[in-house]
């Protein structure tokens, strides 16, 4: 019952976010600020993780392809499929839920604790629109980050394959081009848009409706990370079934 | 003027406000006092429109809040200024940004007009050299003054303050009290202050409402509070030895 109530409250919050918009002149500034914080600020960790995940996937695939009859190009093929279909959109989203989600929950939660949200409401401002809408708009650029993650992940795989001596460059690139289906990239980008919405709204919900003091802000950040991850994993399953099944 | 008519407010089984009726007059400093848990904050939040009373009505210059449309309520909110207990300044903005915020949100004034207004109110609260500093870089007393400047920048008709001098030293607390009192008279605002501070009660309490267990136990002025025989009020107000002596002196002087 408690969970149903929370889900209902979450959807009401999302509805409220789009009501009574803040002046565009002010909103524009907020959106650019959030793009800087949520997307540009997360690029470093996304690139770092994607590069090494791509490398690890390649090494593990290579180590499991012991049969000499199997072509080395399969290493590139497996790396491409793993990175595009799963690692770039889903794994990166879980990382983002930790980095960006915690930031969103703690920043909104601190505003709640220090009565800054009450101050906005007293002024007659739709605090949900003012605080959450720019975050939703800015994370809509997240598919670009996922596209970069795909490129860097595959690059990491190529570096691991070639410099680790697992496959020659030509074979790896041939594997990357083998049976390429552009729809898989579209599928990954559709997933990333949905995950981006979750990453912006679920942590906002936990920050906005938190009660208590500084300790509770920390607890809310942890809870928000757990729930954002759970929602992403469930939606990942549903979207995969719907789009690829 | 704000008229409160028999308001009740409950949270689950907890009946916090039990039929409070009173009036807050224009151009006067009205104080709400009472022990912790007496319902002061809930009462103030009802006045601000942050909580909807379960029963009863609140009238702002004759207009019943519960009968106002969403747009009318939004417009009314823009006529209210609020000074929060912890100042509630926006951390990410400078002092100037905080004070200019309501002007940015609700007016179409030019940058120079807004700057003039910000300079004027900051000067009014005796803060002339803190424009570019962030809230974390200024003292508690200065933060309160910025909060007052932000609350009055839109020329509000109503000013609400939740324990405006909590956490301040006695001298700064007195300065804040006097500043609020002066602003109230200067701009003819209806000011409602929620306080625990007996110095505020004695200094600026033109009208005082004493709440106890969700009821309005007593109301009067800072002059009348010396004369009252209401035990709940005297127990609360004269709980310290200093105030007991002050009252004793007052009674002896009167006799």
| 8 A C-beta contact, residue B147 and residue B99 | no
pLDDT at B255: 67
Nearest 5°: the CA angle A202, A207, A210 is 120
pLDDT digits (tens, 9 = 90+) for B123-136: 888 888 888 999 99
Give which of B246, B212, B230 is closest to B220, Cα–Cα: B230
| 8 A C-beta contact, residue A202 and residue A234 | no
Subunit contact A119:B90, Cβ cutoff 8 A: yes
Residue A8 counted as domain residue? no
Residue B210 counted as domain residue? no
Give which of A77, A45, A57 is closest to A157, Cα–Cα: A57
**Alpha-carbon gap, residue A218 to A62, rounded angstroms:** 42
**Alpha-carbon gap, residue A180 to A99, rounded angstroms:** 32
Residue A7 counted as domain residue? no
For residue A122, list chain B residues with Cβ-Cβ distance below 8 A.
48-50, 77, 80, 82, 160
Nearest CA-CA distance, residue A221 and chain B, Å: 19
For residue B91, list chain A residues with Cβ-Cβ distance below 8 A.
110, 114, 116
- With 0-12 / 13-18 / 19 or more C-beta atoms within 10 angstroms meaning exposed / middle / buried, residue B12 is exposed
Question: Could you tell me the pTM of the whole model?
Answer: 0.85
Query: Facing residues of A209 across strands?
Result: none
Give the model's confidence band at B252: pLDDT under 50 very low, under 70 low, under 90 confident, else very high: confident
Residues 6+ positions from B171 with CB-CB distance below 8 Å: none
pLDDT at B251: 72
Residue B126 counted as domain residue? yes
Give the DSSP letter of residue A87: I
Residue B68 counted as domain residue? no
pLDDT digits (tens, 9 = 90+) for B6-51: 999 999 888 999 999 999 988 889 999 988 888 898 999 999 888 8
For B113, the domain range is 91-155
For A113, the domain range is 23-244
Pair of tokens at residue B180:
């609020």
B89 vs A: CB within 8 A? yes
**Alpha-carbon gap, residue B75 to A118, rounded angstroms:** 17
End-to-end, the C-alpha distance of chain B in Å comes to 37
Nearest 5°: the CA angle A39, A45, A46 is 65
Subunit contact A122:B104, Cβ cutoff 8 A: no
For residue A34, list chain B residues with Cβ-Cβ distance below 8 A.
none
What 3-state DSSP class applies to A76? helix
Give the model's confidence band at B220: pLDDT under 50 very low, under 70 low, under 90 confident, else very high: confident
Best probe of the A interface among B105, B109, B114, B143, by most A CBs < 10 A, is B105
| 8 A C-beta contact, residue A53 and residue A94 | no
Chain A positions contacting chain B at CB under 8 Å are: 20, 22-23, 26, 110, 114-116, 118-119, 121-125
Residue B111 counted as domain residue? yes
Nearest 5°: the CA angle B228, B224, B158 is 125
Residue B100 counted as domain residue? yes
| 8 A C-beta contact, residue B175 and residue B140 | no
Residues 6+ positions from A22 with CB-CB distance below 8 Å: A30, A125, A126, A129, A130, A133, B105
Residue A17 counted as domain residue? no
Nearest CA-CA distance, residue B79 and chain A, Å: 8
For residue B160, list chain A residues with Cβ-Cβ distance below 8 A.
122
Give which of A225, A222, A231 is closest to A195, Cα–Cα: A231
Other Cβ atoms less than 10 A from the Cβ of A29: the count is 12
For residue A118, list chain B residues with Cβ-Cβ distance below 8 A.
50, 82, 84, 88
Residue B191 counted as domain residue? no
H or E, element range at A235 = helix A214-244
At residue B228, φ and ψ (nearest 5 deg) are -65, 145
- With 0-12 / 13-18 / 19 or more C-beta atoms within 10 angstroms meaning exposed / middle / buried, residue B108 is exposed
Give the DSSP letter of residue A38: I
**Alpha-carbon gap, residue A96 to A85, rounded angstroms:** 17
pLDDT at A190: 95
Pair of tokens at residue B177:
């009290």
3-state secondary structure chain B: CEEEEEEEEEECCEEEEEEEEEEECCCCEEEEEECCCCCHHHHHHHHHCCCCCCEEEEEECCEEHHHCCHHHHHHHHCCEEEECCCCCCCCCCCHHHHHHHHHHHHCCCCHHHHHHHHHHHHHHCCCCCCCCCCHHHCCHHHHHHHHHHHHHCCCCCEEEEECCCCCCCHHHHHHHHHHHHHHHHHCCCEEEEECCCHHHHHHHCCEEEEEECCEEEEEECCCHHHHCCCHHHHHHHCCCHHHHHHHHHHHHHHC
Residue B135 counted as domain residue? yes
What total of structural domains would you count in chain A? 1
What total of structural domains would you count in chain B? 1
Give which of A31, A32, A40 is closest to A133, Cα–Cα: A31
pLDDT at A65: 85
pLDDT digits (tens, 9 = 90+) for B147-171: 999 998 988 899 999 988 877 788 8
Spans of chain A, pLDDT less than 50: none
Percent of chain A with pLDDT over 90: 83
**Alpha-carbon gap, residue B38 to B44, rounded angstroms:** 12
CA distances (Å), origin B67, targets B18, B19, B57, B64: 21, 19, 9, 5
pLDDT at B127: 85
């Amino acid at each position: 019952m408690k969970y149903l109530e929370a889900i209902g409250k979450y959807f009401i919050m999302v509805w409220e976010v789009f009501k009574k918009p803040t002046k565009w002149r002010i909103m524009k500034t907020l959106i650019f600020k959030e793009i800087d914080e949520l997307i540009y600020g997360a690029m470093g960790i996304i690139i770092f993780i994607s590069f090494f995940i791509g490398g690890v996937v390649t090494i593990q695939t290579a180590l499991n392809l012991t049969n000499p009859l199997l072509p080395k190009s399969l290493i590139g093929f497996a790396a491409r499929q793993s990175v595009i279909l799963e690692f770039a959109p889903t794994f990166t989203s879980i990382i983002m839920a930790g980095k960006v989600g915690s930031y969103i929950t703690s920043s909104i939660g601190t505003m709640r604790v220090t009565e800054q949200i009450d101050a906005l409401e007293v002024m007659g401002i739709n605090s949900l629109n003012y605080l959450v809408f720019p975050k939703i708009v800015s994370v809509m650029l997240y598919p670009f980050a996922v596209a970069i993650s795909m490129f860097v992940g595959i690059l990491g795989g190529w570096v691991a394959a070639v410099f680790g001596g697992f496959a020659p460059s030509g074979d790896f690139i041939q594997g990357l081009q083998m049976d390429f289906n552009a729809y898989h990239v579209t599928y990954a980008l559709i997933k990333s848009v949905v995950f981006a919405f979750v990453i912006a709204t679920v942590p906002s919900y936990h920050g906005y409706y938190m009660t208590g003091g500084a300790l509770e802000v920390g607890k809310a950040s942890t809870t928000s990370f757990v729930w954002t991850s759970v929602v992403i994993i469930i939606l990942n399953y549903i979207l995969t079934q719907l789009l690829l099944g | 003027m704000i008229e409160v008519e028999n308001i009740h407010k409950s949270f689950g089984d907890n009946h916090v406000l039990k039929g409070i009726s009173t009036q807050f007059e224009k151009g006067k400093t009205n104080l709400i006092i009472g022990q912790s848990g007496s319902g002061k904050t809930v009462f103030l939040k009802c006045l601000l429109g942050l909580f909807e009373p379960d029963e009863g009505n609140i009238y702002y210059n004759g207009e019943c809040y519960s009968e106002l449309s969403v747009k009318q309520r939004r417009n009314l909110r823009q006529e209210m200024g609020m000074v929060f207990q912890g100042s509630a300044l926006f951390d990410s903005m400078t002092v100037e940004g905080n004070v200019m915020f309501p002007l940015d949100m609700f007016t179409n004034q030019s940058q120079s007009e807004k700057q003039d207004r910000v300079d004027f109110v900051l000067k009014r609260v005796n803060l002339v050299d803190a424009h570019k500093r962030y809230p974390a870089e200024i003292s508690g007393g200065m933060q309160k003054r910025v909060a007052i400047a932000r609350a009055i920048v839109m020329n509000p008709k109503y000013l609400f303050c939740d324990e405006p001098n909590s956490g301040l030293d006695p001298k700064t607390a007195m300065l804040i009290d006097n500043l609020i009192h002066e602003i109230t008279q200067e701009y003819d605002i209806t000011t409602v202050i929620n306080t625990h501070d007996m110095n505020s009660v004695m200094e600026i309490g033109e009208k005082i409402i004493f709440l106890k267990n969700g009821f309005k136990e007593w109301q009067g002025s800072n002059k009348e509070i010396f004369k009252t025989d209401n035990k709940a009020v005297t127990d609360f107000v004269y709980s310290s030895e200093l105030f007991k002596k002050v009252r004793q002196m007052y009674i002896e002087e009167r006799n």
